[in-house]
């Protein structure tokens, strides 16, 4: 696994993100909706710069302050030890693809993603319904960035619900994330690995399209 101990939100980390697909962008990559992913990435590559996002609202500040607490609590209940921060760089597409785990156990190849909430109702909902749909691309991206990632442990932490401060969801490549009935095939299940396979094709196409876009954009035409 190409893991590098780089402090997240440091200048080195921001520079590393230039023109790369990471957690949020992986959602754009696999989405069937029209979006500006390729335009954003081309712009960054030509600028050799990514706009630093220093905006923090109350929820984000709460998350940044409580994430280490959540990881410490999870270490105690799980018996596992984790390194905080760092990045995983794709070995097949290092110039295009990366992930930034909240914590990682390199020996067991487990990645941790933490979401902290001040709202007890959110914690209860995550206990009932599992991961918020908007966060699933981050989980997928960890598996996509390296074939060596074995598990992703997604943790919701809410200190205001002491009855269950941690809601823990464990994902593997065989975890079913979608199922539906079709007239032709009956029950069809989609696993995380199925989505990763689809994403790999889209990543390769994105690399090709991105290079073509930048080269063509730079050509002067009269």
3-4 and 98-99 beta bridge pairing:
unpaired
Which pLDDT belongs to residue 55? 67
Which pLDDT belongs to residue 144? 98
DSSP readout, 191-219? Answer: EHHHHHHHHHHHHHHHHHHHHHHHHHHHS
DSSP code of 166?
E
State the fold for domain 3-218: Lambda Exonuclease; Chain A (3.90.320)
Reduced to 3 DSSP states, what percent helix, strand and coil does the chain have, rounded to the nearest 5? 45, 20, 35
Please state the domain extents for the chain: 3-218
Which pLDDT belongs to residue 54? 67
Interval 91-139: pLDDT, tens: 999 999 999 999 999 999 999 999 999 999 999 999 999 999 999 999 9
């Amino acid at each position: 696994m190409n893991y590098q101990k780089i402090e997240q939100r440091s200048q080195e980390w921001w520079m590393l993100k230039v023109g790369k697909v990471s957690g949020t962008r992986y959602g754009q990559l696999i989405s069937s909706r029209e979006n500006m992913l390729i335009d954003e990435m081309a712009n960054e590559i030509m600028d050799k710069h990514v706009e630093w996002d220093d905006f923090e609202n109350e929820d984000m500040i709460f998350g940044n302050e409580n994430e280490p607490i959540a990881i410490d609590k999870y270490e105690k209940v799980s018996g596992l030890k984790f390194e905080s921060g760092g990045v995983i760089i794709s070995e097949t597409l290092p110039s295009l693809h990366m992930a930034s785990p909240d914590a990682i156990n390199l020996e067991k190849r487990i990645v941790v993603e933490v979401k902290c909430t001040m709202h007890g109702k959110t914690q209860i909902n995550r206990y009932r319904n599992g991961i918020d749909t908007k966060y699933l691309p981050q989980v997928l991206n960890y598996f996509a960035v390296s074939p060596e990632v074995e598990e992703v442990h997604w943790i919701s932490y809410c200190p205001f619900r002491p009855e269950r401060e941690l809601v823990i969801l464990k994902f593997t490549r065989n975890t079913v994330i979608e199922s539906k009935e079709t007239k032709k095939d009956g029950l069809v299940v989609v696993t995380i690995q199925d989505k990763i396979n689809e994403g790999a094709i889209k990543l390769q196409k994105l690399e090709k399209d991105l290079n073509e876009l930048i080269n063509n954009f730079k050509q002067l035409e009269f």
